[in-house]
Amino acid sequence: MPDKHLSSQFDSDLNSLCSKLLEMGGMVESQTSTAMRAFTEMDLEICNQVIEREKAVNDFEIEVDSACTEIIARRQPTARDLRLVMAVSKAITNLERAGDEAERVAKRTKRIIESGLNHNINVAEIKLSGQMAISLLRRSLDAFARLDTIAAAEVVKEDKQIDEEFRAFVRKLIVYMMEDPSLITTGLDMLTIAKAIERIGDHSKNIAEFVIYIVKGADVRHLPHADLVREVYR
């Protein structure tokens, strides 16, 4: 959380902003978990729940973005305070996009259910990457709450595992569709779901990188992991 200032109201504004970010993060984490449950259980009702709740995430982004703008206009923050406000502004954009990806998982799952097409596609990689994405999102938000750069660096590192699961599923899916063209329609929906989960991992990684930016004042988004770790411990 932010450092103390002479103005207690400024402290209150910054703390409120961080709390709103974490609240929005909780909403998106819930959306992602629910979307994955809908996929795992192939449950149409749960799909609809995710789709219906998406507007609440979008509305929350607008609210938090307005709070960021107000703090900048009224408080004119500098140095670490300014980095914090800017990081919150960017993090809520990533959360909103992660929410969009959770909705995409639900919509494609719904389409698979409604198509009534039977398939024998092994989706173990999708289920595993979904669990990993939920964990990364939760841990990136926890790192943000504590401004823990070491935990943030671990999130950045582990995002690569989701990428690997996605690539493994794509390779397997190509074989499935080549062997049985009737699986192509469902296979493409599965591919979209797998990609959406991979993107949720990317957004979680971005949030973790913002933690390092706040604390260290360095943009590490394009650094190799070894250089990122050196920056964290610098």
* Distance (Å, whole) CA 42 – CA 112: 8
CA neighbor of 20 nearest in space, from 75, 74, 57 = 57
71-114, pLDDT tens digit by residue?
Answer: 999 999 999 999 999 999 999 999 999 999 999 999 999 999 99
- Give which of 113, 103, 81 is closest to 27, Cα–Cα: 103
Q: pLDDT value at position 149? A: 95
Q: What is the mean pLDDT of the chain?
A: 92
Contact 160, 202 (CB under 8 A): no
In tens, the pLDDT along 140-187 reads 999 999 999 999 999 999 999 999 999 999 999 999 999 999 999 999
Q: Closest Cα to residue 192, out of 175, 173, 164?
A: 173
Q: How confident is the model at residue 1 (pLDDT cuts 50, 70, 90)?
A: low
Separation of alpha carbons 107 and 39, rounded Å: 10
Question: Can you tell me which residue has the tokens 């998106």?
Answer: 28
Instruction: Enter the DSSP assignment of 62.
Output: H
Across the range 10-34, mean pLDDT stands at 96
pTM of the full predicted structure?
0.92
By the 8 A CB rule, do 98 and 200 touch?
A: yes
Determine the pLDDT at residue 31.
98
220 pLDDT band, cuts 50/70/90, is confident
Q: For residue 189, is pLDDT > 60? A: yes
